[in-house]
Amino acid sequence: MQSPTDSFKSKECIFCKIIAGTLPAEKVFENENVFAFRDISPQAPVHVLIVPKQHVVDILDVSGRDMEIFQHLFKAAQQIAAKLGIAGSGFRTVFNSGDHACQTMYHLHLHLLGGTQMGGSLVG
Ligand code: DGP
């Protein structure tokens, strides 16, 4: 598992390597700002990770002009949900930040989950 300190160096970041194409992943979407791929350990029939191409650690690491990152991620979520056929049935978007949320990968990522009826509880 990556530690926040280690993965802050983007050259060592697994998600940066996936974006660069030096580690394999099942890509579902890409544009100038965003890359999206299937989660290696899916928790729903559709489980996609949407990541900014710019290396930022978590939502606390985004400020100022970088706030546009959130716009890019949610715009991509809209497009991917439509592309994968879950826009109508519904989907969940989640950011995990820090220990209590069990963040394990320290490159900001928006989970997009759908394709099944999910429970109402957000805290496992
Ligand atoms: P989080 O707990 O929010 O930090 O979720 C990180 C997610 O990243 C977790 O659901 C598993 C996924 N993941 C970790 N390593 C890889 C990988 O190498 N490839 C892919 N596709 N997903 C990964």
pLDDT tens sequence for the chain (124 residues): 444 544 455 779 999 999 999 999 999 999 999 999 999 999 999 999 999 999 999 999 999 999 999 999 999 999 999 999 999 999 999 999 999 999 999 999 999 999 999 999 999 8
60 lines ligand 1 (CB under 6 A): no
- For residue 33, count other CB atoms closer than 10 A to its CB: 15
Where are the strands (E) in the chain, listed by range?
27-30, 34-38, 46-52, 91-94, 110-114
Tokens 């290696």, residue located: 40
d(CA 40, ligand 1 centre) in Å? 6
1 lines ligand 1 (CB under 6 A): no
Residue type, 65: R
pTM (two decimals): 0.94
Pocket test for ligand 1, best of 12, 40, 96 (most atoms within 8 A of CB): 40
Please check whether residue 70 is in contact with residue 91, taking contact to mean a CB–CB distance below 8 angstroms.
no
Return the ligand 1 atom nearest residue 104 CA. Answer: 4
d(CA 41, ligand 1 centre) in Å? 7
Return the ligand 1 atom nearest residue 14 CA. Answer: 18
In this structure, which residue's CA is closest to atom 20 in ligand 1?
40
- For residue 117, count other CB atoms closer than 10 A to its CB: 8
Backbone torsions φ then ψ of 117, nearest 5 degrees? -75, 120
* Structural domains of the chain in order of their starting residue, each with its CATH number: 4-114 (3.30.428.10)
d(CA 100, CA 7): 19
